[in-house]
Chain A
Amino acid sequence: MWDYTDKVKDHFFHPRNVGEIEHADGVGEVGSLACGDALKLTFKLDENGKIKDAKFKTFGCASAIATSSVLTELIKGMTIDEAAKVTNKDIADYLGGLPEQKMHCSVMGREALEAAIENYRGGGKKKHELEGKVVCTCFGVTENEIERVIRENDLTTVEQVTNYCKAGGGCGGCQGEIEKILEEIQGDKAGQVYETAPRWAGRLTNIQKIQLIQQTINGQIRPALRAHGGNIELIDVEGDKVIVAFRGMCAQCMLTEFTMKDVVEAKLREFVSESLFVEEETDSSQQPHQHRG
Chain B
Amino acid sequence: MTMKTIYFDNNATTKVAEEVLEEMKPLFCELYGNPSSMHTFGGQIGRKIRKAREQVAELLGCDPSEVIFTSCGTESDNTAIKGTLAALPNKRKVITSRVEHPAVLQVCRGLENHGYTVVEIPVDKQGRLDLDELETQIDDDTALVTIMYANNETGVVFPVERIAEMAAGKAAVFHTDAVQAIGKIPLNLAKSRIDLLSISGHKLHAPKGVGALYVRKGTRLAPYMLGGHQESGRRAGTENVPGIVGLGKACELAAKNIEQENHRIKYLRDKLETAILQKCPDCRLNGDKDNRLPNTSNISFEYIEGEAILLMLDKYGICASSGSACTSGSLEPSHVLRAMGVPFTAAHGSIRFSLSRYNTEEEVDYTIEKMPEIVNKLRELSPFVTK
Binding site for B on A (CB under 8 A): 2, 12-13, 15, 18, 29, 33-34, 36-40, 57-62, 64-65, 101-102, 139, 162, 166, 169-170, 214, 218, 222, 231, 233-234, 247, 288, 290-293
Contact = CB atoms under 8 A, between A and B. Distances in A.
Interface of A is mostly: mixed
Interface residues of B, number: 39
Contacts of B136: 288
B333 A36 contact: yes
Given A13-B312, A36-B325, 16 more contacts: A12-B308, A12-B311, A34-B345, A36-B348, A38-B384, A40-B383, A58-B383, A61-B324, A101-B329, A170-B332, A218-B112, A231-B112, A233-B115, A234-B115, A293-B122, A293-B341
B383 A57 contact: yes
B382 A59 contact: yes
A284 B297 CA distance: 43
A57 B311 contact: no
B116 to A, nearest CB: 9
Interface stretch (B32-40, B299-307, B358-366): B299-307
A2 B326 CA distance: 10
A107 to B, nearest CB: 13
B311 A62 contact: yes
Nearest to B326: A61
Contact of B305 (A64, A166, A292): A64
Given A12-B311, A36-B325, A61-B305, A162 B331 contact: yes
Interface of B: 98, 112-113, 115, 117, 119-120, 122, 136-137, 303-308, 311-312, 315, 324-327, 329-333, 338-339, 341, 344-345, 348, 380-384
A247 B112 CA distance: 12
B304 A59 contact: yes
A39 B383 contact: yes
B120 A15 contact: no
B305 A36 contact: yes
Nearest to B117: A233
Given A60-B305, A65-B381, A33 B345 contact: yes
A12 B344 CA distance: 23
A57 B382 contact: yes
26 contacts: A33-B348, A34-B345, A36-B344, A37-B305, A57-B381, A58-B382, A59-B383, A60-B308, A61-B305, A61-B306, A61-B308, A61-B324, A61-B326, A62-B308, A64-B305, A102-B326, A169-B330, A169-B331, A169-B332, A218-B112, A222-B113, A247-B117, A290-B119, A292-B98, A292-B120, A293-B122
